[in-house]
Amino acid sequence: MNLFTYSHAKDAATATAAVTRDAHAAFFGGGTTLVDLMQLEVMNPKSLVDVTSLPLSRIENGPHGGLRVGALVRNSELASDERIRRRYPVLSEAILSGASPQIRNMATTAGNLLQRTRCPYFRDLFSACNKREPGSGCAAQAGFTRVHAVLGTSEKCIATFPGDMPVALMALDAAVRTQKSTGNVRSIPLADFYVGYGEDPARETVLEHGELITAVDLPPTGWMARSSYVKVRDRASYEFALASAAVALDISGGTVREARVALGGIATKPWRSLEAEKALAGARAGEPAWRAAADAALADAKPQKDNAFKIELARRVLVRALTTAASREIA
């Protein structure tokens, strides 16, 4: 058994200071990922700083007419909020497609952003994994790769990002608000939040050690009400995506003026496809445009030996998401 200390933080300054001064400390929120990985001994923090008492559990008006979602808002509350369902349906749909009601009642907004891969080699202490132990190698490269990534991979890692909610947030141009132990606050566009795998698979975000996520800001963009999330998985519930797509469309007079496209289940991070968005801009709304966007989104995909099917699956999922979003009327 690995021993660790446990403390409650009374405010963000106390929490960030406690984690910053201890290289082996971690924040504790819902714990739905962290506790799981601690039980497997994949993660072994020496100190847990509980932040659940901090006033970060509200959904309120954000800058310029958008919404600000506190870092500790539970997934179930966020998915059922009428403002979210009406203005950002893709987000509600993504959350409801993930985990189980019991887990959604515990899981937090910040925790969803920081989910770690479900790669079985990452979770197996007897397998080489550059993400778990940098420099040890990647057992997945020569292993069973059906669930692994086809976008954003490197010679050092092919693990897939597991989340649903962050894929939707990527399509919504969300921004992550954080606070450091110095008191400095920053706003990080979600498109810049995740780190490509490259040379250091163990580094997954741009967060500094001890930097606390305090909220996620959603923009006031009205046309994001015309959005949709589609997820395909091996079973109907409580399962991770083989491929998913989050989209939002600005359509006027039958023409796509602007679009947001993000993919999940097939990449090393929530994958925004600028290529698909470019293909959609100015196109006549309809299946030919949806298929062209899907082809553009997957043009650079590199299958592993067991998952070439994911490329065509992702194309079809994206076409379905675009079709569904385009059919939605907005006020």
C-alpha to C-alpha distance for 165 and 74, rounded to whole angstroms: 12
C-alpha to C-alpha distance for 57 and 74, rounded to whole angstroms: 8
C-alpha to C-alpha distance for 104 and 35, rounded to whole angstroms: 15
- State how beta strands 47-50 and 5-8 pair: parallel
Report the run of H or E that residue 111 belongs to, with start and end.
helix 109-113
C-alpha to C-alpha distance for 194 and 113, rounded to whole angstroms: 9
Amino acid code (one letter) for 314: A
Tens of pLDDT, residue by residue over 102-141, are 999 999 999 999 999 999 999 999 999 999 999 999 999 9
C-alpha to C-alpha distance for 71 and 178, rounded to whole angstroms: 9
By C-alpha distance, which of 192, 202, 144, 201 is closest to 169? 192
- Give the pair of three-digit tokens for residue 258: 């602007």
Question: Does the reported pTM lie above 0.85?
Answer: yes
Q: pLDDT tens digits for the chain (331 residues)?
A: 789 999 999 999 999 999 999 999 999 999 999 999 999 999 999 999 999 999 999 999 998 999 999 999 999 999 999 999 999 999 999 999 999 999 999 999 999 999 999 999 999 999 999 999 999 999 999 999 999 999 999 999 999 999 999 999 999 999 999 999 999 999 999 999 999 888 899 999 999 999 999 999 999 999 999 999 999 999 998 999 999 999 999 999 999 999 999 999 999 999 999 999 999 999 999 999 999 999 999 999 999 999 999 999 999 999 999 999 999 998 7
DSSP 3-state of 110: helix
Half-sphere exposure of 89 (CA within 13 A, CB side): 19
Residue 168: which residues within 8 A CB-CB, separation 6 or more? Answer: 88, 90, 91, 93, 94, 95, 227, 229, 246, 262
**C-alpha to C-alpha distances, 128 to 6, 67, 122, 152, 297, nearest whole angstrom:** 30, 42, 8, 20, 31
Q: What is the DSSP letter of 322?
A: H
Q: What are phi and psi of 110, to 5 degrees?
A: -65, -40
Helices (H), 5-74: 12-20, 34-39
- State how beta strands 185-189 and 175-179 pair: antiparallel
C-alpha to C-alpha distance for 148 and 306, rounded to whole angstroms: 9
Q: What is the DSSP letter of 29?
A: S
